Structure formats: structure tokens, C-alpha cells
Structure 1
Amino acid sequence: MTSPIWHPFTQHALQPDMTRVERAEGAYLFTNDGRRIVDAISSWWVVTHGHCHPALVDAAREQGGKLDQVIFAGHTHEPAERLGEALIKLAPDGLDKVFYSDSGSTAVEVALKMALGYWHHMGETRRQRIVVMENGYHGDTIGTMSVGERGVFNKPYAPLLFDVDVIPFPHPGKESETTHTFERLLAEHPGEIAALIVEPLVLGAGGMLMYKADVLKDLKRICEAHDVVFIADEVMTGWGRTGTLFACEQAGIAPDILCTSKGLTGGFLPLAATLCQQRFFDAHYSPDRSRMFFHSSSYTANPIACAVAFANTELWRTEPVQARVDALTVEQARQIKKFDGHPRFENLRQCGTIAALDVKVADQGYLSNIAPRLYQYFQDHGLLLRPLGNTVYVLPPYSITSEDLDDLYHVLSNAPDVLGL
């Protein structure tokens, strides 16, 4: 019987059979046919501490017996309140309010609406332009596709997307082109640019592209000088992925608006939050009901998800999570160094717990024909690695062992010979 399921980012004509996973624990997935797979990409970058961490399981179980769901308009509950307070303490200084949603895409949509709503209610209605970074990816809703790289991800939907201004990715040695382009746009459109949105330090779906913290610091400085809202999309980069709790910390900056999801619940349940400065709340605060912030989802601040997310923040407070992140950062550096000078790999890079390299092939980019071959090769060797075209990245849970990483990188090093590259 053909399955009724339509899977995301999957070409069913080329991949008709899905891997059926029965259970998970730590860094491992277990299939119904008895295989163990190392989850080396944290199941799409969400699992931080490892699958089914007991503290997160207990939090979900306990909250599920108390309050499962309640409308968040006109109501509140303890898990949301406790989580909100914890997030403000953990986040960069100056972020005062927390708005909940249910995914990274919606967290970014909320941020964009906050920024535009702010300028509208402040009377600066000409500030409508959004500046983005080349190769960026912020989600798959209409707004987030609009502020992401135009191309294969969103070409069929081009008529729905709004125009944005683009600054170049800060390639090594060309960082000044990024900042100079941003300054030029501000000079050409005085009083029109509402916000800049970037993925701090690492562009995920764009190919795990990495840039220096100094660039992030310079972009924030320019935003401050021109009163432009600085939005940090930390959906993937947050919760230790880049080596610090949030990537912005490495630049010594605090964004005006910060988006978080994925690792917010340790990868246990869907939840997102958009953190912002008080001024964005104040701009919408009025006896005039037409000035309220018009955004919600039915499951905004779901109590079970909030309880699990709070348990995640407690893990960061009570367990040596940062030490695990630091150890994995060192281990990734050791592993990726083995490929230095390898004739079939290039562009070795690492940021915190994330390591990536490119396979040398003629057809590069997301639709490179090597991607499905590599994916199947890794599956055959008990590894969940999902290349971004010819880019192979390793982004595992912090519980992965050195032995598993040794095996993983050994399999990766043999890929060109086995696949005849």
C-alpha cells in the first residue's frame, strides 16, 4: 500500500522508501528492522542534549497531566511565565519581551512584523525596506522565503514574494564589501530601511557558510548609527551550536530582536520564541485596539512545550552543558583537520559544534547529483548525514561520543573512493 504521507524536502520519484524509525536515545535512532543510526545532524538541527533526555521526558509527562492547552489570548499559565523569565535571563542584554510561536519560520515572521509594526506605529511609514544577506535562509513561509536567497527553494512562488535589498555574504578577505554595501543602501534610501535580518556567524541551509564575528559586530554598529532594527535569526545558531549559548555573544552584541526555536526545547517539541526590546511592545501598547500586535497561532505557548523548554533551560543551568559543547568543539576541530590537503575535499570550516566541507565535483550547489548518492552511502553505514548538495556537514547532539565521530569521519573520508569520485 502506498503511503499517504508527503514528506518535506523529498523528491519521492527518486526516494520512494522512507527509513522508519521506531525509537531514539542519545545520539542514536533505532529502526523497526533493528538498525542503529547515528543522528549526526541532530534530526534537522534541533536535538541538543540527545534524544529522549529524561528531564525533558519527565517535564512533558508531568505537564501533560495538568494542563494540555489553553488559548493564550487573554490567558496565561505557569510554564509560559517561567520560561519567559528564564529566556530573558539567558538572552543577550536588552531583550525584555517574549512572544511565543511554533516554528523557526513563524519566529522570523513575527520578528519582521514587529519591526514593520514598530515603524508604522511610530509614524515612520516610509521605513518599509528589509535588508538581507546573500545566501540566507529563514524559513518556508511567504515572508521568510522573501527574506531568504532566491532560487531553487522558492522559484515557483516568486509572484508571492516581496522585494528586499541584499548585501553580499562576507567571504574571507571580502568582508568590507558586505559592510560597504549596507552603508551604500542606507545612503541611497535614507529613512526607508526598517530592518536588517541575518543568521549570525553561520548560514545553515545556504551551505553552512561561516563568517567572522567582527562582521556581525560591524553590521550591528551600522544599524545603531542609522536607527535600523537588527534582527538575529538564531533559530539554528542558538543553544550552543556555534560554541556559545547564542552566536551573537561571540560578537559582543545584543540584537534588537532575536528569533529562537529548534534547540529551544532541546529538540523535544515544536516551540519558538521571538525576543525583543521593550520599545517594540510599547509601540503597540495603546487604548486603540487597532494598534495591537495581530499575530497568533492556535497553539501559541502550548503549556507542554513551554514546560519542556523550561526544563531545557534548567539543564543549561544545572548540568555541564557548556562543557559538553566545548568538548565537542575541540573534537570537531580535531576531526576536520584530518581532511586538510585531501584531494577530494575542500573549503574545510568549523564554527563551534558545527563542521562542514565540500566534496569536489563538477556540479556544485544544492541540486548537485552527488547529494542523494552521499545520503544513501551514509545510510548504508548507519549514519544520518544529509548533504546540502556537495556540502557535507556534521552537526550532532552534544551527547555524541568521540568513538562515533571517529567512525563517522572515517566513513566520510572513504566516500570518494567508494562512490568513484
Structure 2
Amino acid sequence: MATVNSNYIWHPFTQMKTAQPPLHVVKAKNCTLYTDDGKEYIDAIASWWVNIHGHCNEYIANAIAEQARTLEHVIFAGFTHTPAIELSKKLINILPAHFAKVFFSDDGSTSVEVALKMAIQYWYNKGLKNKTTIIAFENAYHGDTFGSMSVAERNEFNAAFKPFLFDVKRLPLPNENNSNSIKQQLYAWAAEEHIAAFIFEPLVQGAAGMLMYEAKYLDALIAIAREKNILCIADEVMTGFGRTGKNFAINYLKNEPDIICLSKGITGGFMPLGVTVCTQQIFDAFYDDDTTKTFFHGHSYTANPLACAAANASTELLIAEKCQQQIQWITNSHRIFADTIRSHPFVKEVRQQGTILAVELSTSESSSYFNNIQITAYQYYLSKGIFLRPLGNIVYIMPPYCIKEEELNSVYTAIKDSLFYLSK
């Protein structure tokens, strides 16, 4: 089957010439992937962070099946439907109180694209057409569309497109040593009065290697942005829906963003869906008798009823006491495991935020997505029946919330044993 696959399929983030044949998954259940050769693998990263309740969750599957027999899709311009209305209400109810309106799209990249367009047109509609500059963090990753690439770090991922990306002002990730200088820089840029928005991945930069920073430093920057009339965009595509230990990473903040981007875990991994949620203030800048102030953005599958039905079911599972307890249990388990390996000579650093645990390996190469140990580490974990996809020399766990103690301990054991194997 691998030969047939390579005849027709081009895989994402994969150098097709040198890559090993992909594993052929024939079915999955809860935390386990089953391949066509009879092997089983614990999915310890929830399949690119989306299957927060595990695979083939029956509650979500039944919600989709029931919806499919009623309404599979309808254009969302001029029409609406119950699953979208219910999902919007659910999201508004679990987000901070100042959020008011939900705009639907297709995935994480497009939810960020929507947020950027929304922020820039907000100022345009208010007559401030020179407020177009975006501030972002260094090492950021916000997606693969042109706007989201523009606010991401310039690197090998987007080098071919550099001439087409718009300029962005960048701040280093804040910490105890640089916090004051970063605040001074933000004040200086704000004085130029053309900053439209500040976009950030709150608390954890995922693709950068699970880089983590404290909420208090982000809070201080958001406070300055509010003071200086700069919109704040929280990209919670990865951190949303319980990943950081709370429903959203912004729940750790005192100061709240104006716009939040959500995707990945929103449907529990069943269907593609993105949403961009904004305040009433943002919405009001588009609400006008002047048709030209309309937000001209949309997709064919905007607010697809099947995706919304999946998201409704997934959200219901998320806020249930059982799931919330599981999130806290995983968080505590990670913390205990982290302490057992922190002093290992092959461990450069261990980072944890909620259900996200990252182990940075100390190799002769610099820390990077392209660190060659990734290939050896990936194959080692597979040989132990564990699916982990290291970001270069960063090995991370982001399991489905349904993972059992025995399964999680198997993941921990594989990582602990790999420290000896990989350091040889």
C-alpha cells in the first residue's frame, strides 16, 4: 500500500523523496491507532493536537450522524442553522464575558487570517487607514496562509514566499530579564500611531518547540496595547480547549484580548472548523448602513452543520466534570514525570503547561525543528508502540484527555528510556 500511496499522495510537512513510507492506519479508538500490519500505537500527541477526546468518540460520532440525516450543509450567507447557533452560544458562554460575536471559517490558519483582516478593517472602517502594522512575537507560528505566514517567524517554512509577505514588528518572548525593555519597545512603537494589532500565542508557542512564558508578562503587554489603542489577537488554535490546564490560555490573564482564534480541538478531531471570536466593539465597526463596511470574507463550507454538530458535542464533553478532572490529572502526572527526568544529562530543559509537556534534548546540534535527532527519536518511539512526533530535538506529549494511566505511563517510560538510547 505504501507504493500505491506514493503514486498519488503528497503529504504535508514531508520531504517525499527521503521520508519513510507512512504508516497505514486502518482504524483508531480512544488513544490507539491500528495499522494495516497489525501493530498498535498510543497516539500521544492527539494527531496534531486535534483529537482531544480520543479517536472515534461515540458521543461526537452520533452527533454527526444525527445531523447528517437532517442537514449536511447550507450556504451561510443569508441562511443560518441550529448547530451554528448552539455552538456560538456555547463558545460565548465559556469564553471571557466581553466576547460577543463568532465568525466561522475552516481551520486554524484561516481563523488567524480572519482575525488579521478583521483588525485591519476595523481601523479602516473607523477612518484610520494608516493603522495597518502588526506586532508579533519572535519564533511565532500562526499558520500557512499568506497573512498567517506574514505574522509568523521568517524561517525555512516560508522562505520561498518572503517577497510576498507583509512586514511585521517583532518582540522577543518576554521573561524576567527582558520584560521592561520589551514594554519600552512597545510604548515606542505605539507612539507612531500606526499599529493595528498585537498577535500572540498565549503562554505556549507550539511549532517553535513548545516555548513557554508566564502570563504576567503577557498581561503587561496587553495592558499597554489597550492603553495605546492597539487591538490584541490571541491565537489559541493550539492552546484552546483545555490544553494549558484551563479551557483557554487567556483564562490565566487579567487583561483580555479583543479577538481570539480557535480551531484544532474544537470538533474533537472529527471535522475541520475554525472560528474567530471578537468583542461587540469590533463588530460594531462593521455594523453600518454603508455596505462598503461589510466584512467581505467567507468560505464555501463556513459553519458547516456537521462540523458545528461535532463541535457542540466536543464542547459538551470538554466542560463535563469527568473531562475537567482528566485534564487536571494529566497536568499533575506530567509535573511528577518532569521532575524524574529534569536532571538527566541528556535533558537540556523540561517545560510544562497543563497537558502539554516538552522535553528539550541536549544534542550537539542547536535546538531546531531541523535537528537530525528527530528522525531517530521518531522511529524509536514507534518501535515502542508510541506515536510521538518530535519538533527536532523537542519531544513533547499532548495526549487525548481520555488517556488511561497505563497508557500515559507507557509514554513516560518510552521517553525516559529514549534518553539513554538517543544519547549514545
- TM-score, with length taken from structure 1: 0.97
Does residue 116 of the first structure (1) align with residue 98 of the second (2)?
no
1:346 to 338, 345, 348: 348
Amino acid at match of 1:309: A
In 2: Cα distance, 1:212 partner to 1:282 partner: 33
User: SS state of the match for residue 246, structure 2?
Assistant: coil
In 2: Cα distance, 1:347 partner to 1:184 partner: 34
In 2: Cα distance, 1:379 partner to 1:389 partner: 16
Deviations 1:110-168 (A, max 9, x none): 00011001000001111010000111100011000000011111111111100000001
Instruction: Report the counterpart of residue 183 of structure 2 in structure 1.
Output: 179
Structure 2 alignment gaps of length 5 or more: none
Instruction: Report the counterpart of residue 330 of structure 1 in structure 2.
Output: 332
1:95·1:278 contact (CA, 8 Å) conserved in 2? Answer: yes
Deviation at 1:420, TM superposition (A): 4.8
1:50 to 49, 54, 64: 54
Structure 1 alignment gaps of length 5 or more: none
Instruction: Report the counterpart of residue 290 of structure 1 in structure 2.
Output: 292
Deviation at 1:319, TM superposition (A): 4.3
Amino acid at match of 2:58: P
Amino acid at match of 1:153: F
Deviation at 1:388, TM superposition (A): 0.7
State which drifts further: 157-166 or 246-255.
246-255
1:170·1:177 contact (CA, 8 Å) conserved in 2? Answer: no
In 2: Cα distance, 1:66 partner to 1:241 partner: 32
In 1: Cα distance, 2:252 partner to 2:322 partner: 20
In 1: Cα distance, 2:275 partner to 2:198 partner: 19
In 1: Cα distance, 2:396 partner to 2:423 partner: 20
User: SS state of the match for residue 414, structure 2?
Assistant: helix
1:331·1:402 contact (CA, 8 Å) conserved in 2? Answer: no
Instruction: Report the counterpart of residue 394 of structure 1 in structure 2.
Output: 397
CA RMSD of aligned residues (A): 1.3
1:316·1:322 contact (CA, 8 Å) conserved in 2? Answer: yes
In 2: Cα distance, 1:56 partner to 1:351 partner: 27
User: SS state of the match for residue 123, structure 2?
Assistant: helix
In 2: Cα distance, 1:253 partner to 1:79 partner: 31
In 2: Cα distance, 1:165 partner to 1:249 partner: 26
User: SS state of the match for residue 277, structure 2?
Assistant: strand
Deviation at 1:180, TM superposition (A): 2.8
2:235·2:261 contact (CA, 8 Å) conserved in 1? Answer: yes
Deviation at 1:28, TM superposition (A): 1.1
1:325·1:398 contact (CA, 8 Å) conserved in 2? Answer: yes
1:299 to 279, 301, 319: 301
Instruction: Report the counterpart of residue 217 of structure 1 in structure 2.
Output: 219
Does residue 77 of the first structure (1) align with residue 81 of the second (2)?
yes
Deviation at 1:401, TM superposition (A): 1.8
User: SS state of the match for residue 391, structure 2?
Assistant: coil
Instruction: Report the counterpart of residue 379 of structure 2 in structure 1.
Output: 376
- TM-score, with length taken from structure 2: 0.96
2:66 to 43, 62, 66: 62
Deviations 1:310-330 (A, max 9, x none): 112222344422111111100
User: SS state of the match for residue 8, structure 1?
Assistant: coil
Does residue 166 of the first structure (1) align with residue 178 of the second (2)?
no
Q: In the superposition, relative to structure 1, how do residues 393 and 176 fare at CA in structure 2: closer, same or farther (>3 Å)?
A: farther
Deviation at 1:253, TM superposition (A): 3.1
State which drifts further: 229-238 or 44-53.
44-53
User: SS state of the match for residue 38, structure 1?
Assistant: strand
Instruction: Report the counterpart of residue 414 of structure 2 in structure 1.
Output: 411
